């Protein structure tokens, strides 16, 4: 019962990916006022950021 659901490294990667996606989606929405395009940009940014941060954040 004391084991964590996800590791701190995984939580950090997901947090950074979500922050990146939010910033990219907000910037896209503010530039062209198209919510569907902003969601597409946010999703793509989240995927790319997850792969990026997974590579640069070292494991133990």
| Domain boundary assignment for the chain | 8-56
Asked if the model's pLDDT at residue 59 lies above 90, the reply is: no
Question: Buried b / exposed e across 6-26, counting CB within 10 Å, b at 16+?
Answer: eeeeeeebeebbeebbeebbe
| Whole-angstrom distance, CA of residue 21 vs CA of residue 15 | 10
What backbone torsions phi and psi does residue 4 show, to the nearest 5 degrees?
Answer: -70, 155
Among residues 7, 5, 14, the alpha carbon closest in space to that of 53 is found at 14
pTM, entire model: 0.90
| DSSP classification of residue 59 | P
Q: What is the pLDDT of residues 1-41, one digit of tens each?
A: 788 999 999 999 999 999 999 999 999 999 999 999 999 99
């Amino acid at each position: 019962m004391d084991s964590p659901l996800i590791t701190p490294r995984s939580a950090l990667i997901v947090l950074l990916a979500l922050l990146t996606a939010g910033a990219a989606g907000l910037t896209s929405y503010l530039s062209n006022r198209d919510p569907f395009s902003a969601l597409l940009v946010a999703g793509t940014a989240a995927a790319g950021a997850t792969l990026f941060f997974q590579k640069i954040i070292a494991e133990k």
